[in-house]
Structure 1
Amino acid sequence: MRTKPRKVIIDTDPGLDDAVGILLALNHPAFDVRAITTVAGNIGIERTTANAGRLLSAMGRESVPYARGAAKPLSGSGRDEETIHGSDGLGGVALPEPAAPVSGLSAVELFSELLIGAEPGEIDILALGPLTNLAALYLADKDAFARIGRVIIMGGTINEPGNAGPYAEFNMAADPKAAQIVFGSGAEIVLIPLDVTRRLRATPDYLQRLASLETRAAQISADLIAAYFADNAARESRPLHDPCVMLYHLAPKLFEIEPMALAVNDGDRPGALTQVQHGPAINVAMGIDAQAALDCLSDGLGKT
């Protein structure tokens, strides 16, 4: 497990499970969170941006800048997941209003400033939402983009059915053109698809485990996961998609990785991924030690 802090920028559309992943990163000493950037994704840019500020305030991390990113995808009309995440994106879980204002820089401008100011490879991007901001950075400032260490992405599906239609995962379907650009950029990419994220599941017992911990991060996460169950209380478990990105950063040995060249459909099956013979190799997580990962998540949220 990683113990030395590494600089990260979280690009996100919070979102219930996004919020749990963000709380883990803000609570765990292995993450040196340099900024949070937002994308419309789940519930629209105004709410995702406000939620980023609220999460920072809840954790007493007001000094971390957060910046408003893309309000719409590079292609298509975007998607909305209010039925899952609630009208506020956080399932009605009350968090303090942002204590610091949103950055005067756009997400792309903040990316550029932080990356140019760091050593090449020093900052990783933890991408929890559609890849619009990263694609926009690539198009606007290739020098800054080339300084990214790794891009760890929650998105896509290889063998599993989609959750945005039968073939595609939400983040890929929300902006397939952006995914095409990022996948073809030459960046070092780790992709964590539904094939893995659906295996990391929170049960009511796990929710109680988090609720018994005394940290702010664990308490809020328990409330968020409880809200995740609220739309269907009869469910026995719910997947924790986005925290898998943070868990890979913390403990990559929990995951089984296979290199693949992937094409992103931007036509009749928007966001669907296809393995191809030629193209940049992407490290794709295809297996996970789910119980160890759940332990890692609760341990990280419970750190004091």
Structure 2
Amino acid sequence: MSDAVIRAVIDTDPGLDDAVAILHALSSPAFDIVGIMTVAGNIGIDVTTRNAGRILAHARRSDIPVVAGSAAPLSRAGFDTIDIHGDDGLGGVSFPEPAVPPHADAVEWLADLLLRESAMSLTILALGPLTNIARLVLDHPEAAARMARLIVMGGAIDEPGNVGPRSEFNIAADPEAADIVFRAGIATVLVPLDVTRKVRASRSWTAGLRETGVPAAVASADLVDAYFQSSSGRESRPLHDPCVMLYAESPALFTLERLPIAVELETDDDVGALVIDDKDGVLLDVTMKVDADAALGLLARRLSGG
């Protein structure tokens, strides 16, 4: 685990597991979160933006700006995930209303920030579709080139997909954006379903969080329990988005492989699938293994104030 504090922007579509990931980053001394950008993904942009503000209000961190981003994919219709995340995107879990209004135009805001900050000093933690980052690459390539690294929850390599036979939600929601970002030359770490499905919260894990009485831990327990309510008979639920923060904070918990990745853009029933393509793929660092028990332990410790 590095002693250097990670200065970061979170790009997100909260979202139950997004909310847990954000609470982790806000609770951990490993991160200095300088802003939260929102994107339509799990639910519409107005709701994701409101939810980001609600999470910050709960954490008493409304000093961190929320900046509304892309309301739709670059060229496609989005997905409807109300059945998983609920009408409010947070499974009905109680959060306060935002304490301050959001800013507008995440892409312009991020470009200005990257150009003001020292080059290679800012990490982007991407928990949703990559629409905002693709627009940054297209509209402000000089700013995008100053990004230290991009850590992306998305895709599936050997695992089946969750919205298609091989496609995962975040990439499939805006595959053109993912293709643009992956080909932009940004130092990128991809965190696919191959590891996120191994980091699984059980009901006993959420009970342990709740027993601490720490607000971030209790809220996270409620969020994961809302996940359980959206599916019957499951003994555990994967914590997809928190794996981005876990990798950023403690990369030693993960095993990386450098793989030539291409995004499937043509196949209607599996658009957004990731293809290993030695000819046309882009070499990306991909997390393929994880010490799941240690990852869950670190997440619980941070959420509980440790």
TM-score, normalized by length of structure 2? 0.97
- CA shift at 1:233, angstroms? 4.1
Aligned match for 1:299, one of 298, 301, 305? 301
Q: Is residue 217–residue 301 contact of structure 1 (8 Å, CA) maintained in 2?
A: yes
Of 276, 288, 291, which aligns to 1:289? Answer: 291
One-letter amino acid of the structure 2 residue matched with residue 198 of structure 1: R
Q: Secondary structure at the match of 2:34?
A: strand
Q: What's the offset of the Cα at 1:3?
A: 3.4
Q: Which letter maps to 1:155?
A: G
8 Å Cα contact 1:3-1:29 kept in structure 2: no
Paired with 2:232 and 2:175, the residues of 1 have a C-alpha distance of 33
The 2-side partners of 1:17 and 1:2 are apart by 24
CA distance in 1, matches of 2:112, 2:98: 23
**Aligned mates of 2:83, 2:271 — CA distance in 1:** 21
Which SS does the other structure have where 2:220 is aligned? helix
Identity %: 52
Structure 1 residue identity aligned to 2:198? R
- In the TM superposition, what is the alpha-carbon distance from 1:8 to its structure 2 partner? 0.3
Match of 2:195 in 1: 196
**Aligned-residue CA RMSD in angstroms?**
1.0
1:176 aligned residue? 175
2:262, 2:282 within 8 Å by CA — same for their partners in 1? Answer: no
* Structure 2: gaps (5+ residues): none
Q: How does 1:205-216 map to 2 (within 5 A)?
A: 205-216=204-215
Large movers: runs of 4+ above 3 Å: none
- What residue number does 1:59 align with? 59
- Distance (Å, rounded) in 2 between the aligned partners of 1:256 and 1:158: 14
Where do 5+ consecutive residues of structure 1 fail to align? none
Could you give the per-residue CA deviations for residues 1-38 of structure 1, whole angstroms, max 9, x where no partner exists?
23332210000000000000000001111110010000
Counterpart AA for 2:264: N
Q: Distance in 2 between matches of 1:266 and 1:75?
A: 11
Rounded to whole Å, the distance in 2 between the matches of 1:231 and 1:137 is 35
1:35 counterpart residue number = 35
8 Å CA contact retained: 2:130, 2:177: yes
Q: Could you report, residue by residue, the CA deviation over 1:216-243 in whole angstroms, capped at 9, with x for unpaired residues? A: 1111101101111112242100000000
Match of 1:267 in 2: 266
The 5-angstrom pairing of residues 213-224 of structure 1 reads: 213-224=212-223
Aligned residues: 303
Provide Cα deviations, 1:234-273, integer angstroms capped at 9, x if missing partner: 2100000000000001100000100011110111131011
What is the distance in 1 between the residues matched to 2:32 and 2:121? 11
Report which stretch shifted further, 289-298 or 272-281: 272-281
